[in-house]
Amino acid sequence: MTNPAAVLSTPWKINGLTIKNRFVLSPMAVLQPTEDGRPSDQSIAFLARRAQGGAGLLMVGGGAATARGVAEAPFQPLMRSDDDRFIPGLKRLVDAVHEYDVPVIHQIFPSFGAMGIPGEGRTTRAASPKPVHMGAPRLPNGFYIPGGRTNPTPVEITKDEIREVQEATVAAVRRCKDAGFDGIELGAHMRYLYSSFLSPRTNWRTDEYGGSAENRARILVDTIRALRAEVGDDYPIGVRMSVNDHLPDGQGPKGYAEVAQFIAAAGVDYIALTDGNYESMDANLPRESGAILSHGEAQIFREALPDVPLLISSTYDPQQAADAVESGIVDGFMLARQLLADPDFPNKVMTGRTNDIIWCDHNNSCLRRLIFNVPVTCSKNRETGRESGAAARKATLQQNVLVAAAGNPALMGIADKLASAKNRKANA
């Protein structure tokens, strides 16, 4: 049996970047930036605390990289990289993390696609006009939303708009590089713009961006080539994508791995694997550790991409993680909720202090707060979300009620009955 502390303490590389161990802070939009989208003292304190706790690489989540991304962002406020004026603030964040000798990668979104919020005179864009339906039975643990939720139908993005998005993305990545980020990650998962191209379930196009796996990969392939021309071959570029839609008419791991082969061949330095999407949130935010391994999805990706570093989500069992590294399937482990619950998790595992770990309960009160735009805190750790010592932005009464109600099966059961009765009356 492998020794988790020893195996997970080993260094590895993304392009020329050395990462001192296998623990990676998964990208999370929990940074409480300023209202105008700059890193705050809290953003920096949150990240510094994860670096102190032993994570070998930090991913900065939820960056809005274009004017469109900023305007339609489903979570507010987000960190921005859509203008040069944001570079000094981003540099302050990067310098602070580098004090801990830990690299930091910025995850950016040029558009939130079908998950975006339409506004005055502005519709959302996706590969095809397929809305996101978050059905009540597929919500993650701790969420009770009667009838689920369906987002507005996006408009098919035109080729000119695809080119505009690409140009804006290249400019944003240049800013991230100027700010000192050690790399960037394109968010191509969940049902955001890029991900809508990757699966035939959400891409019905008949032009060169739809149909074959090569065509569905094209938007990312072209973007990565343009990024390479801007930032050079040495700058780490990653892509975060799903391994499986987990939906009856969805794409499975073999289809996604085929698309990933084209993306990787364009010059990607790592692929971060996540499970499911907004319509299969139960798979995306699992309770159990290592589903991507036990379902064999990571193995299918490894077979398709023998030489590309792979990171996986939701594998917080140290033994499982160490075994996957030893067998060469996975290189790094992205931890999200476990590092909200216990920022010292990496150090505790690497020094064998596993009895001291504060385990995440997977009840997702953090996520309910995110969805209702309340600063994210953790029910298992009072320090989380308040690392800078400053009081978090106060939630409104309505936001607090929504966060509590969406996590309460009794309240939501009543709401469900009322809604069904109203529907019956309307249909009588």
Residues forming contacts to ligand FMN in the complex (CB under 6 A) are 26-30, 61-62, 107, 187, 240, 274, 285, 313-314, 335-338, 366-367, 370, 376
Judge contact between 328 and 34, C-beta under 8 A: no
Between 61 and 236, whose beta carbon lies closer to ligand FMN? 61
Assess 383 for contact with ligand SF4 (CB under 6 A). no
Structure tokens at 133: 């339906």
Beta bridge partners of 335: 25
Between 186 and 340, whose beta carbon lies closer to ligand SF4? 340
Alpha-carbon distance 392 to 147, whole Å? 32
Cβ atoms within 10 Å, residue 420 = 12
Structure tokens at 135: 């059905």
Assess 365 for contact with ligand SF4 (CB under 6 A). yes
> Residue 341's binding partner, choosing from ligand FMN, ligand SF4, none, with beta-carbon cut-off 5 to 8 A by kind?
ligand SF4
Pick the piece of the chain touching ligand SF4 (CB under 6 A) from 27-35, 216-224, 258-266, 336-344: 336-344
Between 4 and 343, whose beta carbon lies closer to ligand SF4? 343
Q: Which amino acid is at 250?
A: G
Pick the piece of the chain touching ligand SF4 (CB under 6 A) from 28-36, 183-191, 241-249, 375-383: 375-383
Taken in order 70, 182, 61, 323, is the CA torsion positive or negative? positive
Q: Which class for 258: exposed (0-12), middle (13-18), buried (19 or more C-beta within 10 A)?
A: middle
Closest approach, Cβ 35 to ligand SF4, in A, equals: 24
Between 28 and 224, whose beta carbon lies closer to ligand FMN? 28
Judge contact between 107 and 184, C-beta under 8 A: yes
Q: Of the candidates 24, 51, 340, 374, which one interacts with ligand SF4 according to CB under 6 A?
A: 340
Alpha-carbon distance 321 to 6, whole Å? 12
What does the buried/exposed string (b/e) look like for 64-88 if buried means 16 or more CB atoms within 10 Å of the residue's CB?
bbbebbbbbbbbebbbbbbeeebbe
Rounded alpha-carbon distances, angstroms, from residue 303 to 214, 248, 253, 309, 328: 18, 24, 11, 12, 10
Assess 366 for contact with ligand SF4 (CB under 6 A). yes
Rounded alpha-carbon distances, angstroms, from residue 391 to 43, 329, 375: 13, 42, 10
Closest approach, Cβ 333 to ligand SF4, in A, equals: 16
Between 31 and 224, whose beta carbon lies closer to ligand FMN? 31
Between 190 and 378, whose beta carbon lies closer to ligand SF4? 378
> Residue 240's binding partner, choosing from ligand FMN, ligand SF4, none, with beta-carbon cut-off 5 to 8 A by kind?
ligand FMN
Distance from chain centroid for Cα 423: 36
Q: Which residue has the tokens 């003292």?
A: 41
Closest approach, Cβ 340 to ligand SF4, in A, equals: 4
Q: Of the candidates 247, 378, 402, 406, which one interacts with ligand SF4 according to CB under 6 A?
A: 378
Assess 373 for contact with ligand SF4 (CB under 6 A). no
Between 70 and 156, whose beta carbon lies closer to ligand FMN? 70
DSSP symbol at 277:
B
Rounded alpha-carbon distances, angstroms, from residue 99 to 26, 134, 136, 183, 345: 20, 41, 44, 17, 20
Assess 360 for contact with ligand SF4 (CB under 6 A). yes
Please provide residue 86's backbone torsions phi and psi, each rounded to the nearest 5 degrees: -90, -10
Assess 379 for contact with ligand SF4 (CB under 6 A). yes
Closest approach, Cβ 66 to ligand SF4, in A, equals: 29
> Residue 177's binding partner, choosing from ligand SF4, ligand FMN, none, with beta-carbon cut-off 5 to 8 A by kind?
none
Q: Which residue has the tokens 């009794």?
A: 410
Taken in order 344, 324, 15, 38, is the CA torsion positive or negative? negative
Assess 347 for contact with ligand SF4 (CB under 6 A). no
Closest approach, Cβ 363 to ligand SF4, in A, equals: 5
Closest approach, Cβ 55 to ligand FMN, in A, equals: 12
Alpha-carbon distance 268 to 418, whole Å? 50
Pick the piece of the chain touching ligand SF4 (CB under 6 A) from 19-27, 101-109, 345-353, 364-372: 364-372
Distance from chain centroid for Cα 70: 17
Alpha-carbon distance 188 to 166, whole Å? 14
Q: Of the candidates 363, 373, 388, 408, which one interacts with ligand SF4 according to CB under 6 A?
A: 363
Q: Of the candidates 189, 216, 364, 402, which one interacts with ligand SF4 according to CB under 6 A?
A: 364
> Residue 361's binding partner, choosing from ligand FMN, ligand SF4, none, with beta-carbon cut-off 5 to 8 A by kind?
ligand SF4
Between 200 and 276, whose beta carbon lies closer to ligand FMN? 276
Assess 386 for contact with ligand SF4 (CB under 6 A). no
Rg (CA), the chain: 21
Assess 337 for contact with ligand SF4 (CB under 6 A). yes
Judge contact between 333 and 310, C-beta under 8 A: no
The residues that touch ligand SF4, with contacts defined as CB under 6 A, are: 337, 340-341, 360-366, 378-380
